[in-house]
Amino acid sequence: MVVQAYFPGSEYVKTEMRCGNYSFELGALAEKAPSGTSRSSWKPGKVPPKPPNALIRHPKQLLMDNITMYLAHYANDKRCTLVIMGDVNTDLTRDDGRDLPHFKRMLTDLSLVSAAQSKWKAASLHFKTRKGDEVHQPSHIDYIMASSRSVSTIKALGVAAPADLMVDYDHSILFCDL
């Protein structure tokens, strides 16, 4: 199963009307969610539990929590390889003090590993997937994560940051042959 996701970087603050902002939209939807079932008894097809306020305020953490809950069934199925890829907006090599523990918990709970770390070991700690700007340092915030039981089948992994693309786009292209 392949999941492509964008993990928003902004917080949800109800009083800040930022229409069209992905974080605001996720927070507003989560805030209106019905109570649903308890997390321990939730199964696909049932109404999911209402997220706690702490997660509503931090849509990236909410998304990581929901991905973990929704995909646990697939992660636990030995016949299934789970791949999650996208802009996580969290660097595994640099502790931001807020989102990194949630990211690591998602990886652990779903038995996922970074394809780059699996394939390139220590060298993966040095490459960047997002160029920096006046405010942000270059960072590694884009990932392809795969089931730990399947990473040995990775045939090829690459990062491309062509100069002509990086003019208008600040992220590299990741690709993986699994």
Sorting pLDDT into bands at 50, 70 and 90, what band is 166? low
Distance from the Cα of residue 151 to its chain's centroid = 18
How does pLDDT run across 32-90, given as a tens digit for each residue?
Answer: 988 888 888 888 888 888 998 888 888 889 999 999 999 999 999 999 999 999 888 88
Across 11-120, the runs of DSSP E, i.e. the strands, are 83-87, 112-114
Q: 142 with 172: CB under 8 angstroms?
A: yes
3-state helix, strand, coil in the chain (%, to 5): 35, 20, 50
pLDDT of residue 48: 87
Q: Where are the domains of the chain?
A: 2-177
Sorting pLDDT into bands at 50, 70 and 90, what band is 11? confident
| C-alpha closest to that of 91 among 136, 140, 133, 127 | 140
d(CA 107, CA 145): 8
| pLDDT greater than 70 at residue 167 | no
Task: Determine the CATH number of domain 2-177.
Answer: 3.60.10
Q: 83 with 144: CB under 8 angstroms?
A: yes
